[in-house]
């Protein structure tokens, strides 16, 4: 097992990464009250809930469960209420813990419920997808979607602990594994050129589900995320770099309808658009863009999105949280392994980058 910490002063917390982790022993110091609400979904619960309930019973906790339907289309206010219903129905109080057992959808919803319930209760993340292990479980962003924009309603709520168990990835569908690889590639492109070389060397084994290599990729990704979050918890600066590919990607996801394309798939094509625009700005070369496309394709991710009318694409981009004072800011690449956030780009070139990567 490997571990690292998100250094947030008295809210510092560990991320444990390994296979077949001893959840009872690892969770014990981080569940403070007696009441634990395990939030999961109809896919993950049949696979892993029983094991978790046993671990928690060993800790002498009062445990209740809230099992949500599975899917991004349920990451909304109606289904958030089901968690509040469960918490209130079970008579839980202010020192309870909400434990997310699932992918990013469950983590985001359970975390937001923890942020809101009685103005904030303890929160624990047990991410079960690759994407949630490398990204959404770390850093405390939680929330739900609105029909007019993704992740538009939410709060920062840091967990007490993150348990990333590689064994959970054995049951993860291949398409979901690839979606997680998109966020891993993101870290390499935005701040770690050596990691990009490592990914180029190992991509075939990663796609094949080699758990040792996946653990290494999760560790390296979480180390980057932990450092960036510790520097800029509330996204006043550096943390926005983690949104490489996301402004384009959110437009693709929102236009197609939540759940049609996976978040990681949309981010993958969004990173290609960002790379194309960076090339048009003269910052990276055509060969660099090809390298970005190659690693994304080797991760079995899309480099084109379906045709979306430009005005609608732009309208969804305008809802992005990085829009400041009505001005769109984008994360672009100064070079592979060095991203910047900027409003200083050529708008025509951005339109071209969008058009080029649709078919």
Active-site residues: which are they? 119, 141, 183, 225, 235, 239, 243, 246, 250, 263
Strand pairing class (338-342; 149-156):
unpaired
User: For ligand GLY, which residue of 239, 250, 322, 329 counts as binding (CB under 6 A)?
Assistant: 239
Measured CA to CA, the distance from residue 212 to residue 166 in angstroms comes to: 8
Tokens 């049951």 correspond to: 171
Q: Give Dmax (Cα) for the chain.
A: 61
Closer CB to ligand GLY, residue 239 or residue 293? 239
Q: How far is CA 152 from the centre of its chain?
A: 15
- The yes or no reply on residue 43 touching ligand NAD (CB under 6 A) is yes
CA pair distance 147, 76, nearest whole angstrom: 9
The partner in contact with residue 172, picked from ligand NAD, ligand GLY, none with C-beta cut-offs of 5 to 8 angstroms by kind, is ligand NAD
Q: Is 141 in the site for ligand GLY (CB under 6 A)?
A: yes
Residue 105 interacts with ligand NAD (CB under 6 A)?
yes
Q: Which two tokens stand for residue 29?
A: 């110091």
What are 330's two structure tokens? 């984008």
Report the distance separating Cα 312 and Cα 294, nearest Å.
Answer: 28
10 is in an annotated binding site: no
Q: Which is nearer to ligand NAD, 65 or 352 (CB)?
A: 65
- Nearest 5°: the CA angle 174, 178, 180 is 115
Q: Does position 72 bind ligand NAD by CB under 6 A?
A: yes
Contact flag: residue 39 with ligand NAD (CB under 6 A): no
- Which residue's CB atom is positioned nearest to ligand GLY? 242
Angle at 201 between CA 200 and CA 207, to 5 degrees: 75
Distance separating alpha carbons of residues 2 and 57, to the nearest angstrom:
25
Q: Is 108 in the site for ligand GLY (CB under 6 A)?
A: no
Residue 203 token pair: 């991509």
Q: Which of 70, 72, 108, 135 binds ligand GLY (CB under 6 A)?
A: 135
When asked if residue 133 is in the footprint of ligand NAD (CB under 6 A), the reply is no
Partner interacting with residue 75 (select from ligand NAD, ligand GLY, none; CB below 5-8 Å by kind): ligand NAD
The interface mask with ligand NAD, positions 232-271, x = CB under 6 A, is -------------------------------xx-------
**Binding flag, residue 131, ligand NAD (CB under 6 A):** yes
224 touching ligand GLY, by CB under 6 A:
no
321 is in an annotated binding site: no
β pairing state of 13-18 and 2-6: antiparallel
Contacts of the segment 117-120: beta carbons below 8 A, 24+ positions apart: 117/83, 117/84, 117/87, 117/92, 118/93, 118/94, 120/157
Q: Is residue 104 marked as binding? A: yes
175 and 267 Cβ atoms separated by less than 8 Å: no
| 293 touching ligand NAD, by CB under 6 A | no
Q: Where are the beta strands (DSSP E) in the chain?
A: 2-6, 13-18, 35-41, 62-68, 97-102, 122-127, 141-146, 149-156, 162-165, 330-335, 338-342
Helix (H, G, I), strand (E, B) or coil at 155: strand
User: Of residues 185, 242, 272, 305, which one binds ligand GLY by CB under 6 A?
Assistant: 242
239 binds, among ligand GLY, ligand NAD, none (CB under 5 to 8 A by kind): ligand GLY
Annotated binding site for NAD(+): 70-75, 104-108, 128-129, 141, 150
Annotated binding site: 70-75, 104-108, 128-129, 141, 150, 183, 246, 263
Annotated binding site for Zn(2+): 183, 246, 263
- Interaction site with ligand NAD (CB under 6 A): 41, 43-44, 47, 70, 72, 75, 102-106, 108, 128-129, 131-132, 135-136, 139, 141, 151, 168, 171-172, 176, 179, 263-264
């Amino acid at each position: 097992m490997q571990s690292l910490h998100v250094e947030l002063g008295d809210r510092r917390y560990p991320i444990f990464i390994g296979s077949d982790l001893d959840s009872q022993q690892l969770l014990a110091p981080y569940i403070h009250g007696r009441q634990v609400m395990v939030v999961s979904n109809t896919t993950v619960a049949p696979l892993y809930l029983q094991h978790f309930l046993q671990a928690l019973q060993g800790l002498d906790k009062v445990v209740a469960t809230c099992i949500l339907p599975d899917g991004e289309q349920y990451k909304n206010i109606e289904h958030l209420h089901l968690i509040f219903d469960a918490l209130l129905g079970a008579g839980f109080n202010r020192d309870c813990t909400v434990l997310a057992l699932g992918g990013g959808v469950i983590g985001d919803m359970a975390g937001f419920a923890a942020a809101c319930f009685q103005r904030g209760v303890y929160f624990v993340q047990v991410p079960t997808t690759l994407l949630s292990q490398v990204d959404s479980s770390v850093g405390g962003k939680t929330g739900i979607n609105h029909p007019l924009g993704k992740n538009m309603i939410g709060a920062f709520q840091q967990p007490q602990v993150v348990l990333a168990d590689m064994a959970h990835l054995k049951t993860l569908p291949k398409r979901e594994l690839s979606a997680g690889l998109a966020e891993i590639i993101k870290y390499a492109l935005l701040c770690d050129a050596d990691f990009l070389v490592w990914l180029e060397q190992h991509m075939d084994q990663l796609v094949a589900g080699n758990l040792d290599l996946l653990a290494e990729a999760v560790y390296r990704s979480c180390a980057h995320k932990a450092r960036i979050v510790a520097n800029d918890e509330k996204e006043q600066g550096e943390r926005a770099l983690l949104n490489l590919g996301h402004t384009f990607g959110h437009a693709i996801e929102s236009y197609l309808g939540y759940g049609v394309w996976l978040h990681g798939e949309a981010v993958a094509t969004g990173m290609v658009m960002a790379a194309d625009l960076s090339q048009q700005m003269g910052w990276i070369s055509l060969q660099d863009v090809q390298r970005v496309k190659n690693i994304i394709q080797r991760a079995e991710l899309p480099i084109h999105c379906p045709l979306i009318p430009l005005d609608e694409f732009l309208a969804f981009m305008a809802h992005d949280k990085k829009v400041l004072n009505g001005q769109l800011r984008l994360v672009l690449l100064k070079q592979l392994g060095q991203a910047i956030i900027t409003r200083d780009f050529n708008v025509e070139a951005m339109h071209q980058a969008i058009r080029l990567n649709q078919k």
